[in-house]
Structure 1
């Protein structure tokens, strides 16, 4: 009879992954379960599971008469649930000696996964959990979380399409019209990545008698869905303030720059959690509400291709690999010299090949000699005087002579 063993440590370690331990959809999730024992251990099974799930939860209170009733809204969506038996439970007891033991595992991540997210009313989390089953004892567990980033390629026609809009507002005060304020804005495309600069082209017309102030901001909107209800949380990612527009004047933005800070990408494939972005151009009007113009944005993970055009987006859809672009020189090479192209007579003689007898007579003829003379002739000298001037027009005769 073996004495009862004691588990010193049970841990899950992950291998690979991109920067900061993040994994992409469709990648291999590899790792190992480390088990350290002080003594011999009797166990029934050792399993490891990879899980991924989105959860939404919030409370709302409603007054019913003199009482307050609380309603809870919960929802969940599973993205990943795969298990692997490292030591299968076949009805027999396995005895492991004291020391360190490692059990490798591999999981294939699905092609469709939502990006890891932590919000006020919900989250998207991924983890790997190991479970050690021992006879007549509780199950010992170890958990390791990891990050998943859903690839969003902005090199698509939908995300490379320009976005534009226009809004106007009639300003009233004490039932009197003070004039009209209008704003027109446009951006080059819909998809951007963190760190890029959004050039904003806008026109602000101030037809009122007071100065107005234009502003621009990137807004993040988190939407949580549960039991048919929605909960939203909006926050300003970054903003900028333009110059005041005097009464009766017009202000034009010729690509006013707004840089995107490090933010999480958009979440569009989750049923209960969405993370969306938008560019808002607003005009502060004294004495009344703001004039707002909103343009949709998508924050992606795959940046714009080197050419940065729609042609590159079409090529990306056709699975064209662009690694060869990195081998192109930054500046084109200079053309070769004329002396390097036209060989000297000594080089011609040294590189001459034996000619068949039936062609020797043809190559010694006058036509071939003319070709050789033309090919070896140096380039003509540049001169502003035309060597072949046009003939002078004939002078008219005098009929009286």
Structure 2
């Protein structure tokens, strides 16, 4: 009778080391090996590898249903993204325990390679939340006769890539609000807030350039602030559960009555956070930049600007466009310059005579240019007409049979 022992069972993924796990996305190949270390000879019925990916939501709510009774409602939901199974040793497990179905592993280290492809579809990004998670893993099971199976798991990190270099995510986000504080029968002046950011899509590690202007005409001292929030939404059995977490924030200077404050690209750093999850039917992860005015003793005046945290950073050529839009965002807070006066463009009478003398028919072809020369000298140096929405010289409209005759 063989009395060997299994000293170690492990799953190793290709391209990983002790401190780092490889990241995958939909359609990527995944390969690795199962390592079995034994002492003595060990009989093995089968060695199976199973890869799974599951989004799962779970929370519990308790409700009182009388004086002394209560009931608990469980909300659970699950979506499967990946299910792959492969047998590395043996075939279908034999329940009769026949010796022919067993494989003997001799003393030493044994490696068994495996490989599979992730589904060619949009996979939910790996995520750990308060009421739900998205997890991917590879599990190895070693089955031996008359003994419990040995199991080991290896986590897979999966990202559903979000490219922020798209027109929708490169579009600037802006807004403005105003609020009047009331105290009994006395109304103070308004508090106004305008804010803008250069785009909607960012990646972790970037800084958001915030352009904002706050004007305080109230009788209180207020403080402009900004905060980045992550909102986790979980769905199960037709009901939703929402959790909001503060990710990062910043604070401006106190603003007394009658004063204003401008942020010319104030930086808010995005820490390492999970990318946005927008396509999973039971879990959503969204981000919002809230620029607000902290009003002591009253409700805050706030603006919410939606953000998308992606995985593919801004391209170099797009960064240049982004910096241009950043400059234009700064100009958005300033008043445009007045147009030049037409008087500054007026030409002196001496200069006009000199031009007319140079344009007379002293050279050949003067007779042919006569009508055109008259047109130029009459209109070229006159100031432009006053602006009007109505064209004083509309083009004549031709009336065709299609306009007057009914269709046949």
TM-score range, shorter chain: 0.7 to 0.9
Aligned to 1:38: 39
Among candidates 250, 265, 270, match of residue 275 of structure 2? 265
Q: 2:90, 2:279 → 1: CA distance?
A: 35
Q: 2:240, 2:232 → 1: CA distance?
A: 10
- Deviation string 1:8-27 (CA, Å, 9 cap, x unpaired) is 22211111159821312132
Q: 1:310 to 1:61 in 2, by over 3 A?
A: farther
Q: 2:195, 2:104 → 1: CA distance?
A: 71
Pairing 1:296–2:306 present: yes
Aligned to 2:13: 14
Any conservation in 2 of the 1:17–1:23 contact (CA below 8 Å)?
no
**Helix, strand or coil: the match of 2:161?**
coil
Pairing 1:214–2:213 present: no
Q: 1:152, 1:199 → 2: CA distance?
A: 21
Any conservation in 2 of the 1:157–1:310 contact (CA below 8 Å)?
no
- Deviation string 1:88-131 (CA, Å, 9 cap, x unpaired) is 42553323333221100012123422222111111111111011
Alpha carbon RMSD of aligned pairs, Å?
Answer: 2.2
Q: How do residues 325-340 of structure 1 correspond to structure 2 at under 5 angstroms?
A: none
Any conservation in 1 of the 2:47–2:143 contact (CA below 8 Å)?
yes
- Deviation string 1:167-213 (CA, Å, 9 cap, x unpaired) is 22221111432222221111100001112111111121222122211
Aligned to 2:103: 94
**Helix, strand or coil: the match of 2:316?**
coil
Any conservation in 2 of the 1:160–1:310 contact (CA below 8 Å)?
no
Q: How do residues 146-225 of structure 1 correspond to structure 2 at under 5 angstroms?
A: 146-225=156-235
Aligned to 2:398: none
Aligned to 1:3: 2
Q: How do residues 278-357 of structure 1 correspond to structure 2 at under 5 angstroms?
A: 278-308=288-318
Q: 1:178, 1:118 → 2: CA distance?
A: 47
**Helix, strand or coil: the match of 1:126?**
strand
Count matched residues: 312
Structure-2-length-normalised TM-score: 0.72
Q: 1:144, 1:28 → 2: CA distance?
A: 16
Q: 1:290, 1:97 → 2: CA distance?
A: 72
Q: 2:64, 2:271 → 1: CA distance?
A: 42
Aligned to 1:336: none
Aligned to 1:80: 82
Among candidates 103, 118, 122, match of residue 109 of structure 1? 118
Q: How far does residue 310 in structure 1 lie from its aligned partner after superposition?
A: 9.1
Q: How far does residue 218 in structure 1 lie from its aligned partner after superposition?
A: 0.7
Aligned to 1:64: 65
Q: 2:75, 2:292 → 1: CA distance?
A: 34
Any conservation in 2 of the 1:222–1:232 contact (CA below 8 Å)?
yes
Any conservation in 2 of the 1:22–1:149 contact (CA below 8 Å)?
no
Q: How far does residue 4 in structure 1 lie from its aligned partner after superposition?
A: 4.3
Q: 2:152, 2:138 → 1: CA distance?
A: 8
Aligned to 1:340: none
Structure 1: give runs of 5+ residues left out of the alignment: 313-392, 394-401
Q: 1:195, 1:84 → 2: CA distance?
A: 39
Aligned to 2:329: none
Pairing 1:54–2:55 present: yes
